[in-house]
Amino acid sequence: MAGPRLRLGIDVGGTNTDAVLMDGDQVVAWHKVATGEGITASIVAAASAVIAAGGATAEQVFAVMLGTTQFTNAVVERRRLTKVAALRLAAPATTAVPPMSDWPDDLAAVVGRHHYLLRGGLEFDGREIAALDEDEIAAAAKDIAGKKIDAVAITSVFSPLDAAMEHRAEAILRRELPHGTCAITLSHRIGRIGLLERENAAILNAALSDLAARVVEAFIKAIGELGIEAPLYISQNDGTLMTAAHAARYPVLTFASGPTNSMRGAAVLSGLSDALVVDIGGTTSDIGLLLDGFPREAAMTVEVGGVRTNFRMPDLLAVGLGGGSLVRDDGSRIGPESVGFELERRALVFGGDSLTMTDIAVAAGQMDLGDEAGLAGAIDLPHVEVALATANAMIAQALDRVRPSAATLPVILVGGGAPLLGGRTIGGGEILRPEHGQVANAIGASIAMVGGECDRIFSLDGVSRDDAMAAAKAEAAGQAQAAGADAASIRIVEIDEIPLSYLPGNATRLRVKAVGDLAEGSA
């Protein structure tokens, strides 16, 4: 007897909540609702609509995959964040740059500058910089309790090599803090080598702990109300999945999941693994490159809300062209100003007084929205042509910057604004407009895989590089399997080797990423 085989993909954005019901790579049904105030209600509305439209039942769903920008938005908007105590185990090292030194003041003010730079940390070769001082940590705990701070981020030097000190500090805090409710983030769980970036991520994660608990609870409540008993997964930055319980503890791991999901969705909808993707929204178009089915990652450090992190993020180029972009100078100038979420009030086709790209697309017959009567007398046909050509040129120029070589690649258009671009080719590449491209995000969430990573420094003294590489690959694959991957489907998707120059003994830092399909029935 065949078990449940449908996947439910959900994207909870700031504006819309989308749901798709998927059978393998096939879209069975999709639905879009406004997110509004209640996350639970919007998920229930969108999901029950797709289940009904697909003629399915809750029992036929084997997994729910959910992508969300709730946590990114909270950091960017500096809202719904809690105070954090930042514990760094490193002294006497690192005192030259205390925690949160490079944070924007408004964000630091919300999170608070509560720092404890305590003895501890490791050298690159695993020796202790200084022994952990239990009394010092206990004193910090007393101070944290006195300030009524409920979230702590613990960062120890070289913890990605050996996390024992972060664990010991957590145990002492749990013993010394009066209530067991304190949310503690250990930096090695969410970041890699690069102390400040990892510490920043840990502090942001702790600041989101309260919101994460509530939002994930709202997700779980919605799935319960839908009568779905299948496990709930949340998609993370690199396009792989984590459990809802993991997301509740590590909300920062969702920061880049939105763009990652839309690019992964574009890949599965088009059937292409190497292509350029243009995700056209209300205010901007995000352009990225798919390589082997995954977005190319940014090489530079990525800032979230003005804070430097070292998350793996897709390398995206944002262009100020979207459905709400203002069109001026008879069509020769578009954006970057946009009417944004006020499109349905301010665009001409909705009875407003602003000429937007949506109005141009409606006038050109590329979109069917609002009332065309609103355009009468406000726009000349030649100007429509000029505006379409301007939009095309903006995207073509951006594509040229993202394209990895002179060879042309197909261009996949997704997102609600995809019809803004006309024609069959752009910048020499063939345009694909996959069906359901407007919900590429939710589709990307639904097809996400599970991943595992190894990021460690290996000494090649007495160990061959091949053996070290094999050990790193095995560790990454083991992590993927532990996360729920079907063992037979696990493959290594990325190997990054950074030789540690200046060190004798040929130390090298290996970062290996493995992914696999979600094993059916895993929970």
User: Can you list the positions of beta strands (E) in 281-381?
Assistant: 285-291, 294-295, 302-304, 307-309, 317-319, 325-328, 333-338
Whole-angstrom Cα Rg for the chain: 25
Q: Is 404 in the site for another protein (CB under 8 A)?
A: yes
Residue 459 binds to another protein (criterion: CB under 8 A): no
State both tokens at 464.
Answer: 């061959």
As a whole number of angstroms, the distance between CA 303 and CA 62 comes to 36
Should residue 163 be labelled a site residue for another protein when binding is judged by CB under 8 A? no
436: left (phi over 0), alpha (psi -120 to 50) or beta: left
Residue in 87, 132, 157, 290 binding another protein, rule: CB under 8 A: 157
d(CA 233, CA 507): 37
Binding region for another protein (CB under 8 A) out of 88-96, 104-112, 241-249, 258-266:
88-96
Q: How far is the CB of 276 from another protein (least distance, A)?
A: 12
Q: Which stretch binds another protein (CB under 8 A): 87-95, 141-149, 171-179, 226-234?
A: 87-95
Which amino acid does the sequence have at 358? Answer: T
Give burial (CB, 10 Å; 0-12/13-18/19+) of 406: exposed
* Of 134, 162, 494, 497, the one binding another protein by CB under 8 A: 497
Q: According to the binding rule CB under 8 A, does residue 102 interact with another protein?
A: yes
| Environment class of 297 (CB within 10 Å of its CB; exposed 0-12, middle 13-18, buried 19+) | buried
If one asks whether residue 97 binds another protein (CB under 8 A), the answer comes out as yes
Residues in contact with another protein, counted by CB under 8 A, come to a total of 44
Q: Minimum distance from CB of 521 to another protein (Å)?
A: 38
Tokens of residue 512, six digits: 């290996």
CB of 123 to another protein, least distance (A): 4
Q: 2, 131, 300, 488: which one contacts another protein (CB under 8 A)? A: 300
Among 1, 2, 299, 381, binds another protein (CB under 8 A): 299
Q: Does 500 bind another protein (CB under 8 A)?
A: yes
In the complex, the smallest distance separating the C-beta of residue 493 from another protein, rounded to whole angstroms, is: 15
End-to-end CA distance of the chain: 20
Listed ranges 207-215, 359-367, 401-409, 478-486: which one lies at the site for another protein (CB under 8 A):
401-409
Query: Does residue 506 interact with another protein by CB under 8 A?
Result: yes
Beta pairing, strands 241-243 & 232-235? antiparallel
Q: Collect all residues with Cβ–Cβ distance below 8 Å to 355 and sequence separation of at least 6.
A: 326, 327, 328, 348, 378, 379
Query: What gap in Å lies between CA 132 and CA 169, rounded to an integer?
Result: 8
Q: Which of 1, 2, 3, 96 binds another protein (CB under 8 A)?
A: 96
Question: With binding defined as CB under 8 A, does residue 121 bind another protein?
Answer: yes
Residue 397 makes contact with another protein by CB under 8 A? no
Token pair of 153 as six digits: 């981020």
Interacting positions 408-447 with another protein (CB under 8 A): none
405 touching another protein, by CB under 8 A: yes
Please tell me the distance from the alpha carbon of residue 61 to that of residue 50, in angstroms, as a whole number: 12
Q: Which is nearer to another protein, 176 or 337 (CB)?
A: 337
Tell me if 73 contacts another protein by CB under 8 A: no
Instruction: Indicate the helix (H) or strand (E) that contains 489.
Output: none
Please identify, among the stretches 173-181, 233-241, 256-264, 506-514, the one whose residues bind another protein according to the rule CB under 8 A: 506-514
477 binds another protein per the rule CB under 8 A:
no
What residues between 193 and 212 interact with another protein by CB under 8 A?
A: 193-196
Q: Based on CB atoms, which residue is closest to another protein, 91 or 357?
A: 91
Choose between 127 and 424: whose C-beta lies nearer to another protein.
127
Among 8, 93, 256, 432, binds another protein (CB under 8 A): 93
- Write out the two tokens for 75: 């950091």
CB of 445 to another protein, least distance (A): 26
Does residue 501 belong to the site contacting another protein (CB under 8 A)? yes
Distances (CA, A) of 395 to 13, 334, 399, 400, 420: 24, 12, 6, 9, 11
Q: Beta-carbon neighbour count of residue 424 at 10 Å?
A: 8
> Can residue 38 be called a binding residue for another protein (CB under 8 A)?
no
For another protein, the binding residue among 53, 58, 124, 318 (CB under 8 A) is 124
Only one of the segments 133-141, 403-411, 416-424, 436-444 lies at the binding site for another protein (rule: CB under 8 A); that segment is 403-411
- Residue 66, classed as helix, strand or coil, is strand
Interface region with another protein, contact rule CB under 8 A, candidates 188-196, 212-220, 371-379, 416-424? 188-196
Residues 6+ apart with CB under 8 A from 395: 278, 285, 287, 319, 321, 421, 426, 427
Q: How many C-beta neighbours within 10 Å does residue 450 have?
A: 27
Joined tokens for residue 487: 């063992």
What amino acid occupies position 332? S
Which of 71, 158, 219, 255 touches another protein (CB under 8 A)? 158
Q: Which residues contact 328 (CB under 8 A, 6 or more apart)?
A: 334, 355
At position 148, the amino acid (one-letter code) is K
From 89-97, 221-229, 357-365, 422-430, give the range in contact with another protein by CB under 8 A: 89-97
Which of 37, 127, 435, 464 touches another protein (CB under 8 A)? 127
The DSSP letter of residue 58 is G
Sign (positive or negative) of CA dihedral 340, 341, 345, 349: positive
DSSP-based three-state secondary structure for 448: coil
Q: Which residue's CB is nearer to another protein, number 67 or number 121?
A: 121
- Interacting residues with another protein (CB under 8 A): 90-98, 101-102, 121, 123-124, 127, 129, 157-158, 193-196, 289, 296, 299-300, 401, 404-406, 457, 460, 497-504, 506-509
